[in-house]
Structures are given as structure tokens and as C-alpha cells.
């Protein structure tokens, strides 16, 4: 009884066992559903025909449902432009679209194959022909699903990647806290928002994007903690690429964090070189420059100075961020209001 229940559970979930290809779990679920077909009919021949038809219909329907579920994980909720850019940079441009397109094509082929075999069944006249139709359908169905195993794996990888990244609200401004590794970005994020990023005294502690929220005046902000960037071009690791994607694709404004003390392990000149490159590459994104670890130095600087350890300068930083966002709002024109009239009926813009 336990074995039968386990098989039924696998059939319901359609999940492959560890180490098995995705098609294994899908086909297991499909064939198990078909196996349980119990048709009614006036004669044995009629029941045999209907059993064969049910096996084809059920196995096709279960397979299509599981394939569509794997596609739907990337559309519910819809991908944002920022998520699409993250996925493209991590997995390759058009990688998602190519995998999704191939799985969609497999779904279309399975539906067409099911309709074709049902037409053949209606003309068949014996149990052996019924059985042959089912065997032929099962073989081609399995071939179609196994053919897209690499695409199913890719969709699963992308779905896990998406789930592990923060979902940014496009309606709220995003402050990307960015800079070299170990300059104090995560400590600053913890001061600005209730987020609890991992903080440790060594480089590359933050390996993925993390988001918190903060209220500044009338603004509800998303404060994005980004991995450190070493400004090494094509040699950048995936975390650095992710950070630059956030800066270029998601940030309403950049809070560029500089450590002038040298305790981060990177020269000030290298940090300023990255700052200048970003100013050139993202001219439409305002950048607020701030020096951290003010508690470790006594000299003055033209830049704002803060200490996440003592809290010095944090309130001044909040005010500066609020002012920068207010200035940006003043420069950004409101979109025009459009009205659409269709057959005499008013419809608000989408």
C-alpha cells in the first residue's frame, strides 16, 4: 500500500526523482493517470476502444498541464524588465525565450498528436489496433517530452534564480547602494532600512541582491544592497555582473559608497575610477557619493561622510537622499492621460 501511495503522489506532483531528467517525472505522472482509465461501454470492443482513447487523452492532458506549469512559473507574476535583464546576463541573451518557445512547441505537437491518434482510433476495428495506437502515441509523446529536457532544466534553473532574487516594485523608487567590496554597503543598508543583510569583515560577503524598505518623508523607498564590484570588465564574476545590472537597469538613484581609509583592501583611486565609469555609462541616473567609516578618520572631505558603526551622518544622508529624489521628481514630467473610446464605451487606459 505504501508503494502504491508513493507512486500516486509522484503522479500528482509530476516531479522527477533527484538526479533524473524532468521528463521522467512528467511521463511517470502521465502514464500513471492513463493506467487508471476505467471506461464504460455496452460491449467489450466498445470498452477497449474507449480505454485506448482515455489513455491517449489523459496522458496528453497531464503532460501538457505539467509543461504549461513549468512555463507559467516565469509568467506568474509577470517578469519585470529588471528581472529579464538579470536573467539575460546570468543565462544568456534570449536563453529564457528560446527554452520557453521550445516547450511551447512541444505542447502544440502533443496536442496535435493526440487529435491525430483519436481520429485513427475512431476508424480502428480491433483490440490489437487499439493497443498499437496507444503504443505509438506513448512512444512519440515520450520522444517529444525528452527532447525538451534541456529546456525544462533551463526553465527550472531560471525559476529558482528568480525566486532567490528580490522582486522590486516598479512603482517605488530604488536606491542602489553600490561600490567596491567591503566598503560598508551592507552596514549602511542596515542603517537606512529594516533589512538585515549579512555583514562580515571580508570582501564579497554580499553575493546576491538584497532589498529593504525605508520611509523618507513622503517617499517609500526600496533600498537595494548590491554585491561589490571591482571594475574589471569582462573578468567580472556573476555577482559583480548582477550588481552592475541593478545599477544600470533598476536604480532610480545610486548611493555610491567609498571607503577612503584603505581598510577595505582597495585603493581610493580604483574606487573613484569605477565611480567615473558609472557616471559616464549611466548619465540619467543621479549618483550620491558618500564616504563611510567616518569613525576611523579625522580629516575632512568634500563628500558626505557617515559611520554605520556610530550612526554619525546617517540623518544627513537620509535628508540628502530625500532631496535628490524630490529633484528627480521635479525633472520628470507626468505621463499624459489618454482616453480610449471603443464603440461608444469609455475605457480607461491599461
How many domains does the chain fold into? 2
Whether 348 has a pLDDT exceeding 80, the answer reads no
Domain enclosing residue 321, as ranges: 174-331
Parallel, antiparallel, or unpaired for β 340-342 and 287-291?
A: unpaired
Whether residues 141 and 256 fall in one domain:
no
* Residue 1 belongs to a domain: no
pLDDT per residue over 267-326, tens digit each? 999 999 999 999 999 999 999 999 988 888 777 788 899 888 888 888 898 888 888 888
Residue 50's contacts (CB-CB under 8 Å, 6 or more residues apart) are: 39, 40, 41
Whether residues 160 and 180 fall in one domain:
no
CATH assignment of the domain containing 248: 3.40.50.300
CA torsion, points 24, 27, 28, 31, in degrees to nearest 10? -160
Longest Cα pair distance anywhere in the chain, in angstroms? 97
Say if CB 24 and CB 152 are below 8 A apart: no
Share of the chain residues as helix, strand and coil, in percent rounded to the nearest 5: 55, 10, 35
Q: Where are the alpha helices (DSSP H) in 175-312?
A: 185-192, 238-249, 268-281
CATH assignment of the domain containing 22: 1.20.120.1190
Whether residues 134 and 191 fall in one domain:
no
pLDDT at 2: 35
* Residue 273 belongs to a domain: yes
39-53, 84-98, 328-342: range with lowest mean pLDDT: 328-342
Residue 152's contacts (CB-CB under 8 Å, 6 or more residues apart) are: 21, 22, 23, 67, 70, 99, 103
Whether residues 129 and 247 fall in one domain:
no
pLDDT per residue over 210-251, tens digit each? 777 777 665 678 888 888 887 776 667 788 888 888 888 889
32-41, 47-56, 99-108: range with lowest mean pLDDT: 32-41
Residue 195's contacts (CB-CB under 8 Å, 6 or more residues apart) are: 189, 210, 211, 212, 213, 223, 225
Whether residues 158 and 203 fall in one domain:
no
Whether residues 185 and 251 fall in one domain:
yes
Residue whose cell numbers read 520628470: 332
Q: What percent of the chain has pLDDT over 90?
A: 37
Whether residues 318 and 298 fall in one domain:
yes
pLDDT at 10: 42
Say if CB 213 and CB 289 are below 8 A apart: no
* Residue 340 belongs to a domain: no
* Residue 285 belongs to a domain: yes
Whether residues 199 and 249 fall in one domain:
yes
Whether 63 has a pLDDT exceeding 90, the answer reads yes
Cα–Cα distances (Å) from 286 to 55, 119, 213, 237, 277, in that order, read: 61, 64, 19, 25, 13
Whether residues 51 and 189 fall in one domain:
no
The mean predicted confidence, pLDDT, of the chain is 82
Whether residues 253 and 303 fall in one domain:
yes
Whether residues 45 and 71 fall in one domain:
yes
pLDDT at 350: 38
**CB neighbours of residue 30 within 10 Å:** 28
What are 315's three cell numbers?
Answer: 540623518
Last residue of a domain, one of 164, 190, 208: 164
* Residue 3 belongs to a domain: no
Whether 160 has a pLDDT exceeding 50, the answer reads yes
pLDDT per residue over 14-51, tens digit each? 555 667 899 999 999 999 998 887 777 678 888 888 89
What are 139's three cell numbers?
Answer: 512512444
Whether residues 130 and 178 fall in one domain:
no
List the one residue out of 245, 33, 23 whose CA is nearest residue 156: 23
* Residue 349 belongs to a domain: no
DSSP assignments along 103-156, one per residue = HHHHHHHHHHHHHHHHHHHHH--SHHHHHHHHHHHHHHHHHHHHHTHHHHHHHH
DSSP assignments along 79-101, one per residue = PPHHHHHHHHHHH-TTHHHHHHH
* Residue 345 belongs to a domain: no
Whether 3 has a pLDDT exceeding 50, the answer reads no
* Residue 347 belongs to a domain: no
Last residue of a domain, one of 108, 141, 164: 164
pLDDT at 113: 96
Per DSSP, the three-state class of 337 is coil
Say if CB 144 and CB 227 are below 8 A apart: no
Per-residue buried b or exposed e for 226-245, using 16+ beta carbons within 10 Å of the residue's own CB: bbbbbbeeeeeeebbbbbbb
Amino acid at each position: 500500500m505504501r508503494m502504491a501511495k508513493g507512486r500516486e503522489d509522484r503522479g500528482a506532483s509530476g516531479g522527477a526523482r533527484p538526479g533524473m531528467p524532468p521528463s521522467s517525472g512528467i511521463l511517470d505522472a502521465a502514464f500513471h493517470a492513463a493506467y487508471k482509465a476505467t471506461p464504460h461501454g455496452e460491449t467489450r470492443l466498445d470498452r477497449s476502444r474507449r480505454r485506448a482513447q482515455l489513455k491517449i487523452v489523459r496522458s496528453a492532458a497531464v503532460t501538457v498541464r505539467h509543461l504549461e506549469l513549468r512555463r507559467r512559473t516565469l509568467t506568474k507574476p509577470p517578469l519585470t524588465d529588471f528581472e529579464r535583464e538579470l536573467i539575460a546576463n546570468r543565462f544568456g541573451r534570449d536563453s529564457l525565450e528560446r527554452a520557453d518557445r521550445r516547450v511551447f512547441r512541444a505542447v502544440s505537437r502533443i496536442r496535435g498528436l493526440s487529435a491525430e491518434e483519436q481520429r485513427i482510433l475512431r476508424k480502428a476495428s480491433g483490440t490489437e489496433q487499439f493497443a498499437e495506437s496507444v503504443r505509438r502515441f506513448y512512444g512519440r509523446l515520450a520522444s517529444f517530452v525528452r527532447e525538451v529536457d534541456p529546456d525544462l532544466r533551463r526553465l527550472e534553473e531560471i525559476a529558482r534564480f528568480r525566486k532567490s532574487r528580490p522582486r522590486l516594485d516598479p512603482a517605488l523608487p530604488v536606491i542602489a547602494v553600490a561600490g567596491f567590496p567591503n566598503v560598508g554597503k551592507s552596514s549602511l543598508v542596515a542603517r537606512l532600512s529594516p533589512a538585515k543583510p549579512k555583514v562580515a569583515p571580508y570582501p564579497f560577503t554580499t553575493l546576491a541582491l538584497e532589498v529593504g524598505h525605508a520611509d523618507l518623508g513622503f517617499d517609500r523607498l526600496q533600498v537595494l544592497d548590491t554585491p561589490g564590484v571591482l571594475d574589471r570588465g569582462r573578468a567580472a564574476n556573476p555577482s559583480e555582473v548582477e550588481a552592475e545590472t541593478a545599477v544600470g537597469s533598476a536604480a532610480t538613484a545610486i548611493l555610491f559608497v567609498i571607503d577612503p581609509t584603505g581598510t577595505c583592501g582597495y585603493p581610493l583611486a580604483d574606487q573613484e575610477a569605477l565611480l567615473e565609469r558609472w557616471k559616464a555609462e549611466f548619465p540619467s541616473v543621479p549618483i550620491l557619493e558618500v564616504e563611510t567609516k567616518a569613525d576611523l578618520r579625522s580629516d575632512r572631505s568634500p563628500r558626505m561622510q557617515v559611520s554605520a558603526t556610530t550612526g554619525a551622518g546617517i540623518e544627513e544622508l537620509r535628508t540628502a537622499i530625500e532631496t535628490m529624489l524630490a529633484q528627480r521628481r521635479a525633472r520628470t514630467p507626468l505621463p499624459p492621460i489618454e482616453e480610449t473610446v471603443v464603440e461608444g464605451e469609455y475605457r480607461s487606459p491599461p
